[in-house]
């Protein structure tokens, strides 16, 4: 009995990969939803979606705010805060997120930091751990389905660069999903 229980507790790392159909790619009947998830149910706008004209109106407000970012933040901070709470339109997230977190300033001050980190060899300890975790990050998202695809390779580079940038922090599994969501909207260097 104890031996049987012990065998059940021993799992190999491939157990989180999913079914064969998930590994070999989607069948012809499985399509990606509007967010890129295979087999998702949000392909069409539902009752919870705002009307298209409201989305366009919000997009125009964000375009105006980001066009004059420094001025907007100094004079209309409360409006930016209110607009953030309403939600950043998905079409403008790649433009807005770096501005909101201050990444644009870091990139201006050190424009080639990411490139240097991406080209540097990673710490073997972290590279092994990161490589083991890559397939677990959104396995049903079209960007991360293939181990050789741009999603998993970009994620590997971003996580490796972070371990080199902040060696005292290194890597933990919680960084993977956060970086993966950012990669769905931004290029790796951003």
Structure confidence by residue, pLDDT tens digits, 72-116: 999 999 999 999 998 899 889 999 999 999 888 988 999 899 999
| 83 in a structural domain | yes
| 29 in a structural domain | no
Q: How far apart are CA 10 and CA 13, in angstroms?
A: 10
Q: Tell me which residue of 125, 136, 118, 119 sits closest to 174, measured CA to CA.
A: 136
Residue pointed to by tokens 């909101």: 100
Which residue segment(s) compose the domain that 177 sits in? 113-184
Structure confidence by residue, pLDDT tens digits, 140-179: 999 999 889 889 999 999 999 999 999 999 999 999 999 9
Q: How far apart are CA 125 and CA 130, in angstroms?
A: 9
The total number of structural domains in the chain stands at 2
Percent share of the chain, pLDDT over 90: 51
Answering whether pTM is above 0.85, one says no
| 102 in a structural domain | yes
| 39 in a structural domain | no
């Amino acid at each position: 009995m104890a031996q049987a229980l012990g065998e059940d507790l021993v799992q190999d790392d491939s157990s989180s990969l999913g079914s064969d159909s998930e590994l070999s790619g989607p069948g012809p009947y499985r399509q990606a939803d509007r967010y890129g998830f295979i087999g998702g149910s949000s392909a069409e706008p539902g009752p919870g979606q705002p009307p298209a004209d409201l989305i366009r109106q919000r997009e125009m407000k964000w375009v105006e705010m980001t066009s004059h970012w420094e001025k907007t933040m100094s004079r209309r901070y409360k409006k930016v805060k209110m607009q953030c709470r309403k939600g950043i339109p998905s079409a403008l997230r790649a433009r807005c997120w770096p501005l909101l977190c201050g990444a644009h300033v870091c990139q201006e001050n050190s424009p080639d930091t990411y490139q240097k980190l991406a080209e540097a060899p990673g710490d073997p300890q972290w590279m092994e751990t990161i490589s083991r975790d890559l397939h677990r990050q959104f396995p049903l998202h079209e960007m991360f389905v293939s181990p050789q695809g741009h999603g998993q390779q970009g994620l590997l580079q971003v996580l490796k660069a972070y371990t080199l940038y902040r060696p005292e922090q290194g890597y933990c599994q919680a960084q993977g999903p956060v970086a993966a969501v950012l990669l769905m909207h931004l290029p790796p260097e951003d």
